[in-house]
Amino acid sequence: MIDTQTISLFSAASFALAVTPGPDMILVAARSEVQGRMAGLVTQFGVSAGSAVHAVILILGLSQLFLAIPYAYDLVRYLGAAYLLYLAWQAFKTPDSFSSQSPSNKRHSYFLIFKQGFYSNLLNPKVALFYLALFPQFLAPEKGSIAFQIMTLASIFLLIDFAVHAVVIWLAGSLRSLSSKGRGFAKWPRYFLGLIFGGLAAKLIFDGQR
Burial class of 107 by CB neighbour count within 10 A (0 to 12, 13 to 18, 19+): exposed
pLDDT value for 69: 77
Task: Say if 49 falls within a structural domain.
Answer: yes
Task: Say if 154 falls within a structural domain.
Answer: yes
Are 193 and 92 in contact by the 8 Å Cβ rule? The answer is no
pLDDT value for 7: 93
Task: Say if 25 falls within a structural domain.
Answer: no
Task: Say if 4 falls within a structural domain.
Answer: no
Task: Say if 184 falls within a structural domain.
Answer: yes
Are 160 and 18 in contact by the 8 Å Cβ rule? The answer is yes
pLDDT value for 90: 81
pLDDT value for 116: 92
pLDDT value for 101: 47
Task: Say if 107 falls within a structural domain.
Answer: yes
Task: Say if 130 falls within a structural domain.
Answer: yes
The tally of domains found in the chain comes to: 1
pLDDT value for 102: 52
Please state, in angstroms and rounded to a whole number, the distance separating the CA atoms of residues 45 and 43: 5
For 62-91, the pLDDT digits (tens) are: 777 777 777 877 888 888 889 889 888 887
pLDDT value for 55: 93
Task: Say if 182 falls within a structural domain.
Answer: yes
Q: Which residue ranges in the chain fall short of pLDDT 50? A: 97-101, 182-186, 210
Range of the structural domain that residue 94 is part of: 30-206
